[in-house]
A and B are shown apart, each in its own frame.
Chain A
Amino acid sequence: MDTRTFRVFRFARDDGPSRFDTFEVEAAPGDTVLDALRWIKIHHDPSLAIRHSCFHASCGTCGVRVNGREALACVTRVGDQDEGRVTVEPLANFPVIADLVVDMTSFVQRFPSPHPAARISEFPTSPEVPPGIDEYQRFEDCIECGLCLSACPVAATDDTYVGPAALAYAQRILEEPRGADVGALLDWADGDNAAWRCHAAFECTEACPSNVRPAQRIMHLRRALTGGRDGGS
């Protein structure tokens, strides 16, 4: 059985400062970082606090930084990491609750209202939909994982920036209003800490595991704000 060395960030709120614990983990190359973390929790240290739920990049709860890069632990293969130690840390720019668990409250609170979960499905295109159904629906791509906010250098500089996920969501509502007040949304996007604070690092698009492409959407949002096209992507 293959063994990899994992270096995991630890922080307990009642204790002293944070530290890194090192574990020798039985992990085959095809195993995921989440598999390794759960193996540590079950075989070594049950006090390791981690978040996970769906195991297939749909719930967005297992966001961490693996060897310095943002990733969803459940679909990040151990075998894809560079030789040597695998370092796992919590997301950046989020308050840490304990170990790898971060507080999602301030992230979620940055989203504009409303926050519709479903959108029109664009694929696969079908000639018909079942009678009684207007159009096929699907959930928005954004899984609210926060990898984008962790990767964003502006958010690292100033935590009042609303961040890529919130702006990308606003742009999606511009594309498909679903009854939202588009004028109010544009005002929000035009605000002090919104669309104009992005400096095109594109780290958010790089980090996004769900093809939201937040950086591109922010640029489209700016076009809409300057009277250009209606934010279509």
Chain B
Amino acid sequence: MTPHSPARRPASSMTGSVARDASFPTRLQPFAATALALVVIGIPLWLVVATAGKSRGEALIPDLTPPTHWHLLENLGEVWSEGEVPAAFFGSLLVVVPAVIGVLIFGSMASWILARRATRLNAVLYALAISGIILPPAVVTVVLLLRQLGLAGSAVGMIGVYMGIYMSTVIFFVTGFVRTIPTSLEEAAQIDGAGPVRVFFHVVLPLLRPVLATATILVCLYVWNDVFYAFFVVGGRLDTLPLNLFRVAGAGLYLNNWHLIFAYVILMSLPLVVVFAVAQRKIISGITSGAVK
């Protein structure tokens, strides 16, 4: 739809409601929408930035006044060095990267078969596989299970738990997408004598790029920001960014140190915001095409 859609034609021949339709609210809309966004999103975000830029004394009771002197970089630096951010950042990467890559590859492999072999068994397996989208994971007993497997508190255990939780999301999105891809390319490769592994990695996987982009951002979003599952599985053993924020925001160093809490929030949110800003258009179209059939 273009800004000047064909609906905006002269109102002279139309009824009164059409004239009202096209003019006043339409012209008012950009201002009303911008004002709404500034109040609803702008104020909370400004509170974060302004408070993160204040000195300790000024930030004791966080408010919307701008800091008299900006200390933003100092505060970010203090959080970075004293809040053990580098370790937590590394911990987050250590868990998020393998979990996301693993869940995407294994999920896509399963989705390919589920989409291409429409048997009764596969219909049941598919329903089972996507049930995890809605069903809550058993957070307490997973700890016990990991202990029995010798994976308690380890990065491997955490990666496995995240893969188990988000496998459903990947299979849901990818299976739907595979069904829309014609089989002719796969068949051509098969006739040329390619085995299933070759066909999957050289023909199918590249075709899945749009849906994998969507699934990547969704799973990253959940895993990067997760604190609940991390608390149970690796709490106290391995630090991730949210876990670290959760721990220090309640404890001594950060008690009533809102400037440091919000500096931390900025540091933690930046990576995802940057990724999103770069790939924004692709991500938006991917997320929406999967959800609305």
The answer on A and B forming one complex is no
**Residues of A in contact with B (beta carbons under 8 Å apart):** none
**Residues of B in contact with A (beta carbons under 8 Å apart):** none
